[in-house]
């Protein structure tokens, strides 16, 4: 994979208030500034086959693009990832459970818009997505990477490598809103800088690595390295899933390999109500006998996503009897998505399970109308 030298970076020039909804203006800088700050977050809006879509696209590591997009009429977040090839074309792949590959292929223009071709469902359509931060928060991206040798100074020593990318409210964000977001991201720690926050998890993992190997016999370490199980890795990043005032939904993803057959990881979500300055829980969103109602809807969502017929039980694919709502959820203007990390409701091979339920199905148990 090759690096793309973006010809733009966004600097917030101001913040305008309108009905207590943050609006931010952005200007472009020169290519040198873009090369010095290669990571970014963009909210893009446009159409695919005349269907309005919104994309949250991030570059949080070299040659790695990740994010989510959704059709505005449906509101279900769809995970995407990709990279740039030698012709400077960006290909984003949709993480879906369909048999057919679905992709966005295109490139950025000097204004930061993305144009190209969407392919899927046996057809293709041109698309054009433009930057749009109306009623949305802009973020800067910070990344830290570090490593530690098991036996310092030894040429064949295994090592641990850890990286972490975080989001941070960009300059120009309303100070009260920015302080609330920073407090949530830092766990309430005041005065922490974004680089310190990104570095915190990296340092913690490397310290754990050195501590775990303190009693390891390395006398046999000569011309060959120790078992590959001691080449540990840790990766973390943040993403934006929904960004329209007053709701902001953030994802924190981690993946750690600490020896064994495979690593472990998953994504956790936080729904921020910026107007109330509150991180919402499931009890803040739903009322009444919502657990019973949602359990039925979640089972139907699972059947649809994994193609389980109505006359078959879903229990054969799960490690639980029922899919209960949890506090790892996402709100959009069309529905709620509950997400379950590996082993939470299913085996490791099933991966992270995310199930979307439209508001139309659960109106009676909603405390508020989030469709506005």
Q: Which of 221, 235, 233 is nearest to 152 (CA)?
A: 221
* pTM for the full predicted model: 0.86
Give the pLDDT band of residue 97 (cuts 50, 70, 90). Answer: low
Residues 335 and 77: their CA atoms lie apart, in Å, by: 10
In the chain, what percentage of residues exceed pLDDT 70?
87
Instruction: Just give the CATH number of 285-365.
Output: 3.90.640.20
- Mean pLDDT check: name the lowest of 11-20, 62-71, 162-171, 180-189: 11-20
- Torsion angle (degrees, nearest 10) of CA 226, 229, 234, 235: 110
What is the DSSP secondary structure assignment for residue 32, as one 8-state letter? H
Q: CB of 353 within 8 A of CB of 267? A: no
139-279, superfamily in CATH? Fervidobacterium nodosum Rt17-B1 like (3.30.565.40)
Same fold, 10-131 and 285-365: no
pLDDT at 341 over 90: yes
Ordered by start, the domain boundaries in the chain are 10-131, 139-279, 285-365
d(CA 150, CA 16): 52
pLDDT confidence bin for 228, thresholds 50/70/90: confident
Q: What is the pLDDT of residue 7?
A: 33
Lowest mean pLDDT among 124-133, 214-223, 293-302, 346-355: 214-223
Rounded Cα–Cα distance for residues 261 and 229 (Å):
9
Please write down the long-range contacts of 82-87, taking CB distance under 8 Å and 24 or more positions apart.
83/1, 84/1, 84/2, 84/3, 84/4, 85/1, 85/2, 86/2
CB half-sphere exposure, 122, CA atoms < 13 A: 0
Q: How far apart are CA 278 and CA 357, in angstroms?
A: 23
Q: How confident is the model at residue 151 (pLDDT cuts 50, 70, 90)?
A: confident
Q: Which fold has domain 10-131?
A: Lipocalin (2.40.128)
- Lowest mean pLDDT, pick from 144-158, 247-261, 344-358: 144-158
């Amino acid at each position: 994979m090759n690096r793309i030298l973006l010809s733009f970076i966004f600097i917030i020039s101001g913040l305008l208030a309108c009905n207590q909804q943050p609006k931010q203006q952005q200007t472009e800088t020169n290519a040198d500034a873009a090369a010095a700050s290669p990571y970014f977050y963009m909210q893009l809006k446009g159409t695919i086959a005349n269907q309005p879509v919104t994309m949250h696209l991030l570059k949080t590591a070299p040659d790695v693009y990740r994010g989510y997009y959704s059709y505005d009429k449906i509101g279900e977040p769809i995970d995407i990832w990709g990279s740039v090839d030698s012709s400077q074309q960006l290909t984003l792949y949709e993480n879906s459970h369909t048999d057919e590959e679905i992709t966005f292929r295109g490139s950025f223009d000097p204004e930061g818009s993305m144009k190209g071709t969407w392919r899927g469902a046996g057809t293709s359509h041109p698309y054009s997505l433009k930057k749009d931060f109306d009623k949305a928060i802009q973020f800067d991206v910070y990344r830290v990477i570090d490593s530690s040798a098991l036996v310092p100074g030894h040429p064949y020593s295994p090592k641990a490598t850890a990286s972490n990318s975080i989001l941070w409210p960009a300059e120009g964000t309303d100070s009260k809103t920015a302080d609330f977001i920073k407090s949530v991201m830092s766990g309430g720690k005041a005065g922490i800088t974004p680089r310190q926050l990104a570095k915190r998890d990296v340092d913690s993992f490397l310290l754990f690595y050195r501590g775990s190997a303190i009693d390891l016999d390395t006398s046999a370490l000569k011309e060959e390295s120790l078992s590959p199980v001691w080449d540990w890795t840790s990766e973390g990043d943040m993403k934006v899933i929904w960004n329209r005032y007053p709701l902001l939904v953030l994802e924190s993803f981690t993946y750690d390999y600490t020896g064994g057959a495979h690593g472990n990881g998953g994504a956790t979500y936080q729904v921020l109500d910026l107007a109330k300055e509150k991180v919402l829980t499931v009890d803040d969103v739903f009322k009444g006998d919502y657990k019973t109602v949602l359990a039925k809807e979640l089972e139907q969502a699972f059947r649809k996503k994994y193609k389980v017929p109505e006359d078959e039980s879903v229990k054969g694919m799960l490690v639980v009897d029922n899919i209960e709502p949890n506090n790892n959820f996402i709100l959009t203007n069309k529905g709620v998505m509950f997400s379950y990390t590996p082993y939470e409701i299913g085996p490791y091979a099933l991966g992270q399970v995310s199930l979307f339920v439209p508001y139309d199905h659960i109106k009676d148990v909603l405390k508020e109308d989030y469709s506005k």
